[in-house]
Chains A and B, each alone.
Chain A
Amino acid sequence: MKVLRALRGIIRHEILLQLKTKLFAMSLINSVVVVLLWGYLAGLQAQPMHHLRVAVVEGALEAEILLASEHLVAVPFASVQLAVAAVRAGEVMAAVYRPMQATSLRVTVDDTQGAAARAVLASISSALVRGMRSDGQPDVQAPLIPLLDVEEAWGLGMDDPGYLLRLLGAAIVAMVVLSNAFVFSGFTLIAEKTSGTIHFLALAPISRIWMIVGKLIANTALIATSAVIAVTMAILLFGVSPNGSLTVLFLATLLTGLGLMGLCYAISAYVRDERTFRIVAGLPLMMPMMFLSGIMYPVAVFPDWLQVVSRAMPLNWLMRIAHEVFFKGGGLTDVWPLILLLAAFAATMVAWGTVAVSRLMRVG
C-alpha cells in the first residue's frame, strides 16, 4: 500500500512538473508538427506532380502535345542542345525531343532528383498517351505510349539497386553538419551553463570573444572530421563517387557548421536547460531543415511555395553544393553564389552567438 501511495505521488509530481514547465505542451506541438510535415511531404509523392518542368523543342509534334498537357509544365527551347543544357543546369527536370533519324522519342532526365525524376518520367508518359489520341478517348489500337529512350543526364544509374543510397550520399554531409552542430554547440553550452563553468571561463584575462572563437574553431574541426569520415564511408561502402571539387564541399561544410553553431550558441544562451533547448531549437529549426532542405525528400517534389521556403534554408544551400559536387562534377565556379550565401550566414550567426554568449558570461 505504501509503495502504491509513493508511486501515485511520483506520478502526480512528474505530470505536474511537465505541465508546469510547459514541456508537455511543447512536446505535443513538436509531435504534431513532425506528423504534419512527414505526412504532408510523403503524401506529395503519391500525388501527380503537375508542377514539374519539362523542356521541349519549339515546333516539334511532341512539344505541341506536351505544351497542351496538364500533366506537367512544358517549357519551349529553340534547340535540342539548349533543352538538354537546361536539364544539366537544373532548370528543368527533363528534356523531351526526337533525335535526328530516330524512331523513338528521347527523354534526358535529371537523375539527381530521385523520386522527382521518376515522377517526371511518369508525367511525360501520361501526357504523351493522352496526346496521341485524336478524340481524347483511349485508342486501344494505338501503342500506349511512343517508344521512349530514357537518357540519364548524369549517368547515376536509376535502375541500379544502390541508386537511392547514392542520392543519400550527398545528404550525409548535411545530416552530419546539422546534428553535430546542435550537439557540439547547443548542448555543450547548456552543460557549461548548468555546471557554472561558463563563469569560470569568464574569469580568464582575455576578451570573451576569444573564448567563443576558440570553441568555434575546435567544434568546427570536429564537425569537419565527422563529415570527412562520413563521406569516406559513403564512398567506400555505398559506391558514392564524387566527381566534383571536394575542397569546395569541405569549405561549404565548414561555413554551414559555423553558421549553425553560432545559431545554436545564441539559442542556448537564452534557454534554461537542455530539454527546453531540444524543443526550442528542434521545433522551428532542426526539423524543418531536416524535412525541407532536400535531405529526406527532393525539393523538386514540393509545390512552388514550399520550394521557396526550402531554398531560403542554409542547409539547402549545402545540399545543392553537395549535389553539384557528388553528381555533376561541380566546382567553385558553379556554386560560388551558394558559398557566398553560406559565408554571410556563418558571419551573421557567429556574430549573434558571440554577443549572446558574451552576455551569458556576465552575472546579473
Chain B
Amino acid sequence: MNVETSAVSVRGVAVKYDRVQALRGISVDFQWSQPIAILGPNGAGKTTLINVLTTMLANFSGEAYVAGLNVRSHAKAVRANIGLMPQDNNLYEPISGYDNLLLQGALHGMSSKDAKEAVADVLDRTDLHAVARRPVATYSGGMKRRLVYARTILHRPRIVFLDEPTTGLDVSSRYALWEDIERFAAEKRTVILTTHYIEEAERFCKRIVVVDKGSVIADGSPAELKATGAETLEEAILALTARRIE
C-alpha cells in the first residue's frame, strides 16, 4: 500500500492532549471505495484519528495522507476532498435547513445554481424537503442528524468520515440513513465510519479496524475478527478490548 494509491494513509501518528496520550503511533492504510469501520470503546482515540485526517487537529507527530495529500501541507486540498459528519449536530439552528445546506455549497465554491441543485438532491435523499424552509431549531433530533448527513455529502466528497452517524436516531431513521449511506458508497465514494452499533459496522463494512488506548489492536474483515473464536463480532471486540463497549 502506498500514499498515492490509498484513500487514507497514516504513518506513526501520535497525539498527546496535556497528559493524555490519545494516539500512540498509529499506522494504517484504507483503500479507495472500501467501507471501513473504526471501532473501539469510548476514549479509544477514534475521534482523535478522524480529527487528524480531517485537518482539524494539526498538533500531532507522524504523517497522515488523505486522497494522496499530506494533511499538514495540503490541508485545504484535503478538505476539498472530504466530508465530515461529526458526532454533534453542529448546525446553525436559527436559520433554515435549506440555508444551512446552501452555505455548505458556497463554502465549497459551488455556483448558486449548482448549490441549489445539490441542495435539492440531498434534501430528496434525506427526505427533508417538507421541512427544508423551517428553522433548524424546530427540527426533531432525527431530522437534525439527517440534515448533518445531507450537508456532509452535498459537495460530493470522495471520502466521507461518519463519526457515529446514527447515534440518537430511532430504528426507522437509522435504516433510512444506512440505505442512503450504502447508496452513496456505491457511487465509488470511500466511507470511513465510527460507531457503537457493531451490527451496523458488520453489515456495511468490509474491513474493521479496532482501536483501543490509542493503538490499533485488530484489523481485518468481520469474518477474520470473529475467527478468533467469538460467535459474534461484538464478542470478538469485547474480547479484544477486554471491556464493555458502551
Taking beta carbons and an 8 Å cutoff, which residues of A are in contact with B?
195-197, 199-207, 362-364
Contact of A364 among B59, B84, B86, B109 (CB under 8 A): B59
Q: A204 with B93: in contact, given A196-B88, A364-B59 (CB under 8 Å)?
A: no
**B7 interface hit (Cβ, 8 Å):** no
**Which parts of B135-179 form the interface with A (CB within 8 Å)?**
151
Q: How far is the CA of A206 from the CA of B88 in the complex (A)?
A: 23
Determine the residue in chain A with the shortest Cβ distance to B16. Answer: A364
Q: How far is the CA of A10 from the CA of B185 in the complex (A)?
A: 50
A-binding segment of B32-40, B73-81, B230-238 = B73-81
Contact of B91 among A197, A202, A363 (CB under 8 A): A197
A197 B56 Cβ-Cβ under 8 A: no
Determine the residue in chain B with the shortest Cβ distance to A195. Answer: B90
Hey, what's the 0/1 contact readout for B48-81 against A, CB within 8 Å counting as 1?
A: 1001001111110000000000000000110110
Q: A183 to nearest B CB, angstroms?
A: 14
Interface range for B: 20 to 34
**B197 interface hit (Cβ, 8 Å):** no
Hey, what's the 0/1 contact readout for B87-108 against A, CB within 8 Å counting as 1?
A: 0101111000000000000011
> How many pairs of A and B residues are in contact by the CB < 8 Å rule?
52
Q: List 12 A-B contacts (CB under 8 A).
A: A196-B86, A196-B88, A203-B54, A203-B56, A203-B79, A204-B108, A205-B76, A206-B107, A362-B56, A364-B15, A364-B48, A364-B51
Contact of B86 among A199, A205, A206 (CB under 8 A): A199
B92 A195 Cβ-Cβ under 8 A: yes
Q: A357 to nearest B CB, angstroms?
A: 15
Q: Give every chain B residue within 8 A of A207 (Cβ-Cβ).
A: 76
A362 B109 Cβ-Cβ under 8 A: no
Q: A171 to nearest B CB, angstroms?
A: 32
Q: Give every chain A residue within 8 A of B107 (Cβ-Cβ).
A: 201, 204-206
Task: Give the top 4 A-B pairs by smallest Cβ distance, nearest first.
Answer: A196-B90, A205-B80, A204-B107, A205-B79
Determine the residue in chain A with the shortest Cβ distance to B60. Answer: A364
Q: Give every chain B residue within 8 A of A196 (Cβ-Cβ).
A: 86, 88, 90
Q: Give every chain B residue within 8 A of A199 (Cβ-Cβ).
A: 56, 86, 90
> Which applies to chain A's interface (DSSP): helix, strand, loop or mixed?
loop
A205 B77 Cβ-Cβ under 8 A: yes
Q: Give every chain A residue within 8 A of B80 (Cβ-Cβ).
A: 205
Q: B213 to nearest A CB, angstroms?
A: 18
Q: How far is the CA of A197 from the CA of B95 in the complex (A)?
A: 13
B17 A364 Cβ-Cβ under 8 A: yes
Sample of 16 further A-B pairs with CB below 8 A, known A200-B151, A364-B59: A195-B91, A196-B88, A196-B90, A197-B90, A200-B86, A202-B56, A203-B84, A204-B107, A205-B76, A205-B77, A205-B79, A362-B56, A362-B58, A364-B17, A364-B48, A364-B57
Determine the residue in chain A with the shortest Cβ distance to B18. Answer: A364
Q: How far is the CA of A194 from the CA of B51 in the complex (A)?
A: 18
A197 B92 Cβ-Cβ under 8 A: yes
Q: Give every chain A residue within 8 A of B93 (Cβ-Cβ).
A: 195
Q: A363 with B51: in contact, given A196-B90, A197-B91, A199-B56 (CB under 8 Å)?
A: yes
Q: How far is the CA of A204 from the CA of B151 in the complex (A)?
A: 12
Question: Which of B59, B107, B108 has the most chain A CB atoms closer than 10 A to its own CB?
Answer: B107
Question: Which of A195, A199, A205 has the most chain B CB atoms closer than 10 A to its own CB?
Answer: A205
B57 A363 Cβ-Cβ under 8 A: yes
Q: A161 to nearest B CB, angstroms?
A: 43
B76 A206 Cβ-Cβ under 8 A: yes
Q: Give every chain B residue within 8 A of A202 (Cβ-Cβ).
A: 56
Determine the residue in chain B with the shortest Cβ distance to A201. Answer: B107
Q: How far is the CA of A64 from the CA of B93 in the complex (A)?
A: 72
Q: A278 to nearest B CB, angstroms?
A: 20
Determine the residue in chain B with the shortest Cβ distance to A207. Answer: B76
Q: Give every chain A residue within 8 A of B57 (Cβ-Cβ).
A: 362-364
